[in-house]
Amino acid sequence: MKSWLLLPLFISISPQIRNVPEPVVQRPKNIILLIGDGMGLSQVSAGLYANGKKLNIDQFPVTGIMTTHAYRNLVTDSAAGATAFACGCKTKNGVIGLDSKMEKCFSILEDAEAHGLSTGLVASCSITHATPAAFIAHVESRTEHEAIAADILKTDVDLLIGGGLKYFKDRSNDSRNLLNELQDKGYTVSDYEGQPFPALTFSAAKPLVWFGAYEEPLSVTKGRDWLPQAAIKAPVFLKQRSDKGFFLMLEGSQIDWAGHANDANRVVKEMLDFDAVVGKILDFAKEDGQTLVIITADHETGGLALEQGHAHDSLDLTFSSTYHTASLVPVYAYGPGSESFSGVMDNTEIYWKMKALLGF
């Protein structure tokens, strides 16, 4: 039998035998999971050399490497990749918050809610997009934006920042106005037109939703500037919302989109915007002392390579694909429990390690 015939059998197996991390002395009170969508080692390298060989990521003392394959697919998409982080199980590409048998799997955000922690999702895409959706919704297709928005109303998430106003306000599948329903549940609801992010008031007395776009936010190359600001305000807000701790997922979504477009300049700009987020989160974690910060990616996008160039004035970036690749991606960790994230791991292990460290 040829060896390649064994590959589908291998990648269909969820590595449950590796779910439990080694015991650690310290446990975090809070976890912040930072996801650079499409961010492989080449994207990190491009940002590093474009920025004078210096990134905030450099300050993370623990590093690891991670496999990203989906259920029966060597190359994952963001839905299956994020479901692996969120729920700890492999699933089919395109599926949100369901396992490979299409059964509902509870996410780390839902676990945190059940244990009294405050929770938040921040993304530079629609809040109903694949990655944030996997932490809060359960649908068979990532394209079901309105169903994902409706699922959000079934939770008590404390903070939502991202695009996707359309799927709450101007729905085509039903007559519901989810903005009104959010307000009826006690949320402060605002958007980019009514209150630009710099003017947004964060009051911990009420949960908060802020929409940064009707559908998808602009690229940072077109003027989007609020993701690092959200990284400053979100953890402070969530810390005030519960004395038991918090879970926050924050995604730099458009590194991926730049890779799909094979736009080298945009890859670098989005990577540096995400690294600015890393810096703000790291500032919070250093001062707080009880926060574990994890950085990783759902997959690499574009098959990016760094060719000959001058690090301080130009980079020659080339692409081998307009889609995702199966390349391993980096993992970085800082704070209590960070030592659990060294070495080689599978993407499902991110969930199980977080869950164990929070003592759930």
Task: Specify the pLDDT at position 315.
Answer: 84
Q: Is the pLDDT of residue 5 over 80?
A: no
Q: Can you give the pTM of this predicted structure? A: 0.93
Let me know: does 29 contact 308? Beta carbons within 8 Å: no
- Residue 134's φ and ψ, nearest 5 degrees, are -65, -20
Residues 6+ apart with CB under 8 A from 205: none
Three-state SS string across 55-105, please? CHHHHCCEEEEEECCECCECCCCHHHHHHHHHHCCCCCCCCECECCCCCEC
274 is written with which tokens? 């995400």
Task: Specify the pLDDT at position 9.
Answer: 41
Tokens 């292990």 sit at which residue?
349
Task: Specify the pLDDT at position 210.
Answer: 98
Read off the DSSP letter of residue 22.
P
Helix (H, G, I), strand (E, B) or coil at 355: helix
Q: Please indicate whether residue 172 is annotated as part of the active site.
A: no
Q: Is the pLDDT of residue 313 over 70?
A: no
Question: Quick one: CA dihedral 16, 17, 18, 22, positive or negative?
Answer: positive
List the beta bridge partners of residue 300: 38, 325
Residues 99-140: tens digit of each pLDDT: 999 999 999 999 999 999 999 999 999 999 999 999 999 999
Residues 46-95: tens digit of each pLDDT: 999 999 999 999 999 999 999 999 999 999 999 999 999 999 999 999 99
Residues 171-196: tens digit of each pLDDT: 999 999 999 999 999 999 999 998 99
247's enclosing H/E stretch is strand 246-252
Percent of the chain with pLDDT over 70: 92
Q: Which residue among 42, 45, 78, 242 is the active-site one? A: 78
At residue 123's C-alpha, the angle toward residues 254 and 287, to 5°, is 115
Task: Specify the pLDDT at position 26.
Answer: 86
32's enclosing H/E stretch is strand 30-36
Residues 279-292: tens digit of each pLDDT: 999 999 999 999 99
Q: Is the pLDDT of residue 41 over 70?
A: yes
List the beta bridge partners of residue 318: 305
Residues shown for the chain? 360
71 is written with which tokens? 């259920």
Q: How far apart are CA 218 and CA 197, in angstroms?
A: 14
